[in-house]
Amino acid sequence: MSSLNRPELPKRFYTAVSVVTAEGGGFSIELDGRGLRTPLRRKLVVPTRALAALLASEWEAQKERIDPATMPLTRLANTVIDGIADDPGSVRADLAGYIETDMLFYRAGYPERLVERQRAAWDPIIAEAERRIGSRFVLAEGVMHAAQPPASIAAFRQRIDAVEDPFAVAALHQMTTLTGSALLPLGIAEGWLDADLAWEAAHVDEDWNIGLWGGDAEAEARRAARYADMRAAVILLQALAPESGDDAAGHFPQEAS
């Protein structure tokens, strides 16, 4: 899009950015003493001081003009408060549905080097997920739908249903839509999968095609933007860890019951 067609960014109108304890619990960000609000004019309140500090740093980093593209955590927090907090159950249900079409289950039949690359990246993740939830998944060659065992679907849904914090639900959902996998975000959230390794696993096929045909600047820019959103979701999850004096944030089960 030409810069002439882009809306002009608003000027920075504040000097001081601060984190304050919100009335009723949680933490909010104030700009020159005035509390931030979401696009729907709701109070922007987050559950931990660590997360509030990260949001504040995004606002502090703005220069002459305010650019929402440089504030992925603020955008995600706004999404939670305006679109998820009132009904996190529906988002959990949508999130749980991804286990039936997880990209890790669908494998190439050829060439052999791609087959081996998928196995090396994806098989250990699936094996660890199966060990932790106590159920197995079905793999398929190609794109034809492979029905997963009802017990496996139920076991995964049980873990997702245990995530009550709407901020955690939003982070998981964002990571799932960005990677095309339900297991990769679960591994990140439960602490048994490194986020960068998960991102690499999500792009095995894309990287294979880049190796064959090369990349282009536009595709690289799109991937960089997706990665920034992925990192924001990961950072948000980390910032939800309970702190001394804070209410407990969402918890993730670690082993099969």
| Domain locations along the chain | 3-69, 88-239
- For domain 3-69, the CATH class is alpha beta
Full-model pTM: 0.88
- For domain 88-239, the CATH class is mainly alpha
- Report the pLDDT averaged over residues 4-29: 90
- Tell which wins on pLDDT, 176 or 252: 176
- Tell which wins on pLDDT, 256 or 79: 79
Confidence of residue 244 (pLDDT cuts 50, 70, 90): very low
Neighbours of 26 (CB within 10 A): 18
- 5: pLDDT strictly greater than 90: no
The two structure tokens encoding residue 5 = 């067609």
> With the C-alpha atoms ordered 100, 149, 164, 202, is the resulting torsion angle positive or negative?
negative
Confidence of residue 243 (pLDDT cuts 50, 70, 90): low
Cβ atoms of 31 and 17 closer than 8 Å:
yes
- 246: pLDDT strictly greater than 80: no
- 87: pLDDT strictly greater than 60: yes
Beta strands in the chain (DSSP E): 17-21, 27-31, 34-35, 45-46, 106-107, 140-141
For the stretch 124-168, pLDDT in tens is 999 999 999 999 999 999 888 889 999 999 999 999 999 999 999
Of residues 128, 85, 137, the one with CA closest to residue 106: 137
